Amino acid sequence: MPLIGDELIPFTKIRRLTAEHMVRSKATSAHTLMVKEVDYERVERIRRNHGAAFKKDEGFSLTYLSFNACAAVEALSKFPHLNASVGDDALIVHHDLNLGIAVDLDGDGDGLIVPVLHRADALNLREMARRIREVASRARSKRLSLDDVSNGTFSITNPGPFGTLITGAVINQPQVSILSTDGVVRKPVVVEVPDGGESIAIHSVGMLALTFDHRAIDGAYAARFLARMADILNTRDWAAEL
Residue 145 lies in a domain: yes
pLDDT (tens, 9 = 90+) of the chain, 242 residues, equals 788 899 988 888 888 888 899 999 999 999 999 999 999 999 999 999 999 999 999 999 999 999 999 999 999 999 999 999 999 999 999 999 999 999 988 766 667 899 999 999 999 999 999 999 999 999 999 899 999 999 999 999 999 999 999 999 999 999 999 999 999 999 999 998 888 899 999 999 999 999 999 999 999 999 999 999 999 999 999 999 99
| C-alpha to C-alpha distance for 209 and 149, rounded to whole angstroms | 23
Q: What is the CATH number of the domain that holds 145?
A: 3.30.559.10
Residue 79 lies in a domain: yes
The range of the structural domain enclosing residue 108 comes to 32-237
With beta carbons less than 8 A apart as the criterion, state whether 157 and 180 touch. yes
**Tens of pLDDT along 148-165?**
999 999 999 999 999 999
Give CB contacts under 8 A, 24+ apart, made by 159-165: 159/183, 160/64, 160/65, 160/184, 160/206, 161/63, 165/207
Choose the catalytic residue: 57, 96, 106, 218.
Answer: 218
pTM of the model: 0.94
Catalytic residue flag (residue 21): no
Residue 42 lies in a domain: yes
Residue 5 lies in a domain: no
Residue 146 lies in a domain: yes
Residue 138 lies in a domain: yes
| C-alpha to C-alpha distance for 155 and 42, rounded to whole angstroms | 24
Catalytic residue flag (residue 218): yes
Residue 100 lies in a domain: yes
* Rg of the chain on CA atoms, in Å: 19
Is the bond preceding residue 10 a cis peptide, omega within 30 degrees?
Answer: no
| C-alpha to C-alpha distance for 19 and 138, rounded to whole angstroms | 23
Q: Which helix (H) or strand (E) holds 24?
A: helix 13-28
Residue 13 lies in a domain: no
Q: Which helix (H) or strand (E) holds 84?
A: strand 84-86
Number of domains making up the chain: 1
**Tens of pLDDT along 106-148?**
766 667 899 999 999 999 999 999 999 999 999 999 899 999 9
Choose the catalytic residue: 57, 96, 106, 214.
Answer: 214
